Structures are given as C-alpha cells and as structure tokens.
C-alpha cells in the first residue's frame, strides 16, 4: 500500500520514533508562531489581560481590601500580583481550547490527521506555543506590577513562580484541548470554560484572603488548586511557607496531565 492510499487513521497509527515526534512538534510550533505573526491581533489577550486586571483590582479594590488586611493599596499590590500570575496559565488554557476547536471546524486538523505524524505532536505544539504566550503575558504583568508599586524581593522566587504557573497551566491546557475536540463550536468551549473557571478564580485566594469567607467557601478554597498556586507564588516571591501548597499544586498538575493528556490524544485521534 502506498503512502498516498493510507487513510488518516492508518497514517497516524504507524509507529513514529521519538526523534521524528520532536521534529514534527518543532515544525508545528513554527507553523503556529508564523500564524501569530500573520495575525498579531491574536496576541491582544496576552497583552491586555494582565494590564486590565492589574489596574482594575489595584485601583478599584486595592484600597478597601488592603484596608481590611490592615494596610492599604500598597499592601494589596503585594498580595494580588502573585495571584494574578497564577491566573496567567488558566486564562491562556481557555484560549488554546477555543483555538483548537476553530482549527477543527476550519479543516486544518483534518489535514494534519491525514499526514503520517504523531497525534500527540499536534497537541504538544499547541501547548508549547500557548506557554510562550503565557510567558509573554507574565512579562507584561510584571512590568505593570512594578509600575503600580510591586516590590520584587526574591528574583529566584519570581522565576520559580513563573515556572510553577507554566507547569500548572500546561496541565490545565490538556483539559481545554479535550473540550476543544468534543465541543461543537468555539463558543461552546468558551462558555464551558467560563462556567468552570469563574468559580475557581473567585472562590480562591487569588484576589482576597479567605479568612473572611463563609465556612463552606473556605472548605472549597482549601481544595482549590488555584489557591495553592497563588499561595505558593506569594511564598516564593515575598517570603513565607511554601512546602504544602507547592506539593498540592504539583500533585494537581501531575494528576490533570496523567488523566487528561491520554483522553485529549484519544479524542483527537478518533474524532470524525
């Protein structure tokens, strides 16, 4: 049977060496970066999100929440910036799901699945490019944070926080890649992401301390991975205990990747 007569499933199921997987992933990463270059508007969320959220929470809520913490706006800046960093991966993850769904509906993924390349390479390339966008958004966030008064006291801790956010964000991207495959439209992926992410965002320690929350909500925040990620980032960047929250964040990251990565690849391989 010639390569030209291979069905998409047969081509994708052929054994592919690791070296070829890496080469395919690199080519697909380059393709995605070139697409961003041709469509720079796709970077608007990475630029505007950290600016808008930082200014909004610092200048609208900073005075009142900072006062409740026993300080003021300056103290709230130190509190909220590490939390916003924890949000970067989560918000970028939602974007990878909608983008993946759009590629499916436009027929791009059908072309990829007709090629003799590893199915995982397509998904890993998407995650790699999205992590680059997340790192860019984090740089924008830190620039704005410094301008509004954030003090970087532990540079190594800041770099570790960025790395941890990237690890958790990449794990969460597998969830949204799965949604991007199984949902019928990008709007459906976006709506589902909103329903999932909003409770996780605001039912956490990202924006405010959890001590004043009702007991049932505090119980939720104790198991919310975003609280663990935000508290770890604060400990690394500002000083404080990090061991427990660090292990909780890593455990969530490993669990999400171990469960959702095979599901995403399987759904991508078998989608009609």
Residue 14 pLDDT level (bands cut at 50, 70, 90): low
DSSP string, 2-35: -GGG--HHHHHHS---HHHHHHHHHHHHHHHHHH
Q: How many other CB atoms sit within 10 Å of the CB of residue 188?
A: 16
Residue 8 pLDDT level (bands cut at 50, 70, 90): very low
Residue 2 confidence (pLDDT): 39
Calculate mean pLDDT across residues 132-152.
Answer: 92
What is the spatial distance between Cα 70 and Cα 8, in angstroms, rounded to a whole number? 62
Residue 121 confidence (pLDDT): 82
Task: Check whether 11 has a pLDDT greater than 70.
Answer: no
Q: Retrieve residue 78's tokens.
A: 């130190």
Task: Check whether 153 has a pLDDT greater than 80.
Answer: yes
Which own/partner contact pairs does 12-19 have at CB distance under 8 Å and 24+ positions apart?
A: 12/113, 12/116, 12/117, 12/118, 12/119, 12/269, 13/269, 14/116, 16/116, 16/117, 16/118
**Residue 136 near residue 218, CB atoms below 8 Å:** no
Find, among 113, 92, 263, 251, the residue nearest to 179 by Cα: 263
Which phi and psi angles does 251 have, rounded to 5°? -65, -45
* Beta-carbon contacts of residue 267 (< 8 Å; ≥ 6 apart): 178, 181, 182
Residue 246 confidence (pLDDT): 93
Q: Which tens digits make up the pLDDT trace of 95-115?
A: 788 888 887 777 777 677 677
Residue 183 pLDDT level (bands cut at 50, 70, 90): confident
Calculate mean pLDDT across residues 117-126.
Answer: 80
Task: Check whether 256 has a pLDDT greater than 50.
Answer: yes
pTM: 0.85
Judged on CB neighbours under 10 Å (0-12, 13-18, 19+), 11 is middle
Percent of the chain with pLDDT over 70: 92
Rg (Cα) of the chain, in Å, rounded?
Answer: 20
Q: Mean pLDDT over all residues of the chain?
A: 84
What is the spatial distance between Cα 70 and Cα 64, in angstroms, rounded to a whole number? 10
Task: Check whether 263 has a pLDDT greater than 50.
Answer: yes
What is the spatial distance between Cα 180 and Cα 87, in angstroms, rounded to a whole number? 20
**Residue 146 near residue 229, CB atoms below 8 Å:** no
What's the DSSP call for residue 269?
Answer: H
Calculate mean pLDDT across residues 81-99.
Answer: 83
What is the spatial distance between Cα 117 and Cα 128, in angstroms, rounded to a whole number? 17
Of the two residues 72 and 107, the one the predictor is more confident about is 72
Give the least confident one: 41-55, 56-70, 89-103, 169-183.
89-103
Of the two residues 92 and 226, the one the predictor is more confident about is 226
Task: Check whether 4 has a pLDDT greater than 50.
Answer: no
């Amino acid at each position: 049977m010639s390569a030209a007569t291979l069905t998409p499933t047969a081509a994708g199921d052929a054994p592919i060496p690791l070296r070829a997987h890496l080469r395919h992933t690199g080519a697909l990463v380059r393709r995605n970066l070139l697409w961003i270059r041709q469509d720079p508007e796709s970077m608007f969320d990475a630029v505007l999100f950290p600016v808008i959220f930082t200014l909004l929470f610092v200048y609208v809520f900073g005075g009142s929440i900072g006062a409740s913490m026993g300080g003021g706006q300056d103290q709230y800046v130190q509190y909220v910036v590490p939390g916003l960093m924890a949000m970067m991966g989560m918000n970028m993850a939602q974007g990878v799901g909608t983008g993946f769904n759009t590629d499916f509906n436009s027929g791009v993924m059908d072309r990829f699945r007709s090629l003799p390349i590893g199915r995982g390479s397509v998904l890993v390339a998407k995650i790699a490019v999205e992590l680059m966008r997340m790192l860019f958004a984090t740089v924008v966030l830190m620039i704005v944070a410094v301008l509004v008064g954030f003090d970087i006291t532990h540079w190594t801790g800041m770099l570790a926080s960025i790395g941890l956010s990237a690890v958790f964000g990449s794990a969460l991207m597998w969830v949204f890649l799965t949604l991007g495959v199984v949902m019928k439209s990008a709007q459906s992926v976006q709506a589902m992401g909103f329903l999932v992410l909003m409770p996780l965002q605001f039912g956490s320690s990202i924006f405010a301390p959890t001590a004043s929350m009702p007991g049932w909500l505090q119980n939720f925040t104790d198991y919310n991975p975003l609280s663990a990620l935000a508290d770890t980032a604060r400990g690394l960047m500002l000083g404080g205990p990090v061991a427990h929250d660090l292990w909780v964040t890593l455990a969530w990251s490993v669990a999400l990747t171990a469960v959702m990565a095979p599901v995403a690849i399987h759904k991508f391989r078998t989608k009609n």
